[in-house]
Amino acid sequence: LVLDLLVLGLTRASELAGPPNLPNEWLTFQDVETESRHPIRLYCRYTDKFFLLFRFTQDESRDLIQRYLTENPDPNNENIVGYNNKMCWPRDCRMRRMKHDVNLGRAVFWEIQNRLPRAVTSLEWDNSFVSVYSKDNPNLLFAMCGFEVRILPKIRTFQEEFSQREGVWKLQNESTKEM
């Protein structure tokens, strides 16, 4: 619980939980203003793993990347090398390693890593995965409970062509074409 509070911060943790006399339902907020007040939109911990969903404005992402690159300069664009990706998906369904998205992913990891005291726990880059959804990356990828998950918003399916293969559940009713 202490690590959850350190990752979220006390203010966001109380906004996610809601007031003690009327706690929020899971994945809900009291109002839209509270939901959009902070970049952390979702937090879920499953045993020793946690999942965070951020939504950054352009200014917030630029500031975070600048703070990260100030501490960890990358003159030769080496951040792209060694950036974890989900190889179980076809190439066109993986995260595209664009410089801005890779730097944002590494900056988010760096920010969360610095919130946790090293004497208590640590986050390792090699054991982590940061997926960035952006104008260049239409998929949101993650693994949970043994499932590799790819979320592709419906609006992005019309803009680009993606391959489907065996082992992928297309969650669409073929007769009605309803998602």
Q: How far apart are CA 39 and CA 57, in angstroms?
A: 8
Residue 57 has pLDDT above 60, yes or no: yes
Q: How far apart are CA 41 and CA 61, in angstroms?
A: 15
Q: How far apart are CA 111 and CA 93, in angstroms?
A: 27
Question: Tell me, what's the pLDDT at 145?
Answer: 87
Encode pLDDT of 142-160 as tens digits: 988 888 888 888 777 776 6
Question: Which of 24-33, 53-62, 63-72, 99-108 bottoms out in mean pLDDT, i.e. has the lowest?
Answer: 24-33
Cβ–Cβ < 8 Å for 135, 142: no
Enter the pTM of the model.
Answer: 0.81
Question: Tell me, what's the pLDDT at 132?
Answer: 94
